Chain A
Amino acid sequence: MVLQRNNVNVFGNGVRTMMFAHGFGCDQHMWDPVARNFADDFRVVLFDQVGSGRSDLTSYDSAKYSTLDGYADDIVEIGEALGLTDAVFVGHSVSAMIGALATRKAPGLFSDLVMVGPSPRYIDDEGYVGGFSRAQIDELLDFLADNHLGWSAAMAPAIMGNADRPELGEALTNSFCNTDPDIAREFARVTFLSDNRADLPGITARTLILQCREDIIAPPCVGEYVHAQVPNSRFVLLDATGHCPNLSAPDEVTAAIRAFV
């Protein structure tokens, strides 16, 4: 059930497991260019957060997913369903924080945590630069209201549960990133309004922080803040720009993860 709910895909030949989590915006395809590089010596796990990609939208529950804990609980459930021990968790953007919460909830599942473009809080606070104001986040919510990225209620049945019929998916423009607009708004809200700064010092997993240059979502000062707060952490500044080095510089990201594990 859990594996269907989160559209979990497992492949690769390793003993140790590496699990990749996509952030706000698109789905597990974000990790394809990196994940495939680990298939020879890791068991690779990809999944969609509930509400994104081809997850089971009927499992979406506004109350559960109104905090990142709801998403972290899912990671723990997937980890337990797959019988993971001492696996590597690689999370992009908000899923870096979700993964951090999951390692705290179930310490045995993941021994290593890779945070790509993490931010514990996006909105500026006293003595803290997150990069955004509340009004700017509201602007993002407006953008989402104006852009359904190919989503329409009529298409929903085709998007959901047709993983075995890819020709249906291919017909859908923007199918990697289309989401029910209501869910997208709620995911944006929980992503950009969360404050998980207090959770950082309690992270016990070995942690790698991958930071891009010119990342407007998670600027370098935020990555440095995370590095300072997470006890057992390493910080690597990538040459890549933007917020999605897993897509724009997959080789660099692969090399950094390899050097860490």
Chain B
Amino acid sequence: MKSPQQSAPLSESVPTEDLADLYENAPCGYLSLSPHGRIVKVNTTLANWLDTPAERLLNRTIHELLSVGGRIAYETHLAPLLRMQGFVFEIALDLVQRDGRKVPVLANATERRDDSGHHIFTRLTLFKAVDRRTYERSLLEARIRAETVAKAEQETAALREQFIAVLGHDLRNPLAALAAGVRMLTEREALSERGIRVAKEMGSTVARASALVDNLLDFARGRLGEGLTLSRESEVPIEPILEQVVAEIQAVHPERAIITEFAIEGPIACDPARIGQLAANLLSNAVTHGAADAPIRVQAFTKDAHFVFSVANGGDPIPLAARERLFQPFARGDVRKSQNGLGLGLFIVSEIARAHGGTVGVKSSDEETRFTFTMPLEHE
């Protein structure tokens, strides 16, 4: 007696595989076609799937086993592919049973050729794939649904941006009328001291509202694919423009200290209105977010074939997490409470910088927060 540990050969003998039976009753369908596409041999498994005795399938064409879509595809895709590369793998087909019901299968096919390359048979192996095909179809449907939803969302977004553009445009006129009215009041009417103060505040509020609307329009234009358009002039004396921006902001905020330091050599090729808008956005940003008791420093200079403009303010540094999103549209709020605006100002700044072939960056520490715009003097 051998002990069990010696792993004795099992007493039952290993059966010899019956190849004929393997062909007939294999767990897949076998089908052989003549070069003209007629069935010359088919196994029992496939005949059972088709619910038709094998001998009744012989000499019929492959087309008779396929759905119409499969037939067209067989002629337009599979037959040519078989001819050109000798094989086709993983094709999803629907076989049609005698009563018209469909059997989804996956098929592999190869051409059997003789030594001289003559085509003798086309051999197909077919695997039932009911669950797999159902799964694939549901994936496909899910994708189509997702694409439909995404498309609808894109359309909604485009509509929303169009709405913003129209709204912004329509807001301009009443704001302009309001500004004209306030100007008339302060310049031509005899107002009390209090009246003058109120009218001036109204004037600065209207100016701020107009700036917001301008930003909104620029944003909407950018989003609507028109991008930011520049009317570039070749020789812009830039210092007076910057000085005017500073003067305007200073007029509205006489209590804030703004220190300027300009060292600009010669005129610069740029869009003066846009550069003014960039400077105004950065400066009002500094006024809004900077510490009230610290001066705002505005620097502008030319160096190494670049024009550099920067605005620095004191106060708490901008947290790192917020810095990354600073130049994205509507980036505001969750890290630092925004007191003013939609969060489009810096986005517009970065767009203006980009349109000028330049960049805008931020450095923020306990000492100061500084936004720096740099653009090359030579435009490519």
Among A140-179, those with CB < 8 Å from B are 140-147, 149, 173-174, 176-177
Q: Is the CB of A176 within 8 A of B136?
A: no
Interface residues of B in 44-87 (CB under 8 A from A): 61, 63, 67-73, 75-77, 79-81, 83-85
The answer for the CA separation of A136 and B66 in the assembled complex, in Å, is 12
A143 and B73 contact, CB distance less than 8 A: yes
Residue A216 lies at the interface, judged by CB distance under 8 Å to chain B = yes
B77 surroundings in chain A (CB, below 8 A):
25-26, 147, 149, 177
- What CA separation (Å) do A173 and B137 show in the bound complex? 22
In the complex, number of A-B residue pairs with CB atoms less than 8 Å apart: 99
Known pairs A136-B68, A173-B89, A248-B35; A242 contacts B73 (CB<8 A): no
A93 to B77, CA, bound (A): 13
Within 8 A of B (CB), among A174-210: 174, 176-177, 192
Within the complex, which residue of B61, B85, B93, B133 is in contact with A214, where a contact is CB–CB below 8 Å? B61
A177 contacts B80, CB within 8 Å? yes
Q: Which residue of A lies closest to B89 (CB)?
A: A173
CA distance A169 to B71 in the complex (A): 27
Chain B residues touching A, range: 20 to 34
**Contacting residues, chain A, for B80 (C-beta < 8 A):** 25-26, 30, 176-177, 244, 247
Is B37 at the interface (CB under 8 A from chain A)? Answer: yes
Q: A214 to B84, Cβ gap below 8 A?
A: no
Chain B residue with the shortest CB-CB distance to A136: B68
Specify the chain A residue showing the minimal Cβ separation from B137: A146
User: B36 an interface residue at 8 Å Cβ cutoff?
Assistant: yes
A4 close to chain B: CB less than 8 A: no
Give the interface size class of chain A. 35 or more
Whether A140 and B68, one on each chain, are in contact in the complex, defined by CB atoms closer than 8 angstroms, is: yes
Say yes or no: A140 contacts B75, CB within 8 Å. no
Is there contact, CB below 8 Å, between B92 and A146? Answer: yes
What residues on B are CB-neighbors of A243 within 8 Å?
Answer: 75-76, 79
Does A24 lie at the interface of the complex (its beta carbon under 8 Å from any beta carbon of B)? yes
A139–B67 CB distance below 8 A:
yes
For B63, what are the chain A residues with a Cβ–Cβ distance below 8 Å?
Answer: 216
Given the complex of chains A and B, what is the CA–CA distance between A144 and B76 in angstroms? 11
**B140 within 8 A of partner (CB):** yes
Q: Give Cα A136 to B140, complex, Å.
A: 21
Complex contact B79–A242 (CB within 8 A):
yes
Would you call B91 an interface residue if the criterion is a C-beta within 8 Å of the partner chain's C-beta atoms? yes
Given contacts A26-B80, A215-B75, 5 further A-B contacts (CB under 8 A): A132-B68, A139-B69, A140-B72, A149-B81, A242-B75
Q: Can you list 13 A-B pairs, Cβ within 8 angstroms, ordered by A?
A: A26-B81, A139-B70, A140-B69, A146-B133, A149-B77, A149-B91, A173-B85, A173-B89, A176-B84, A214-B61, A241-B36, A247-B83, A248-B79
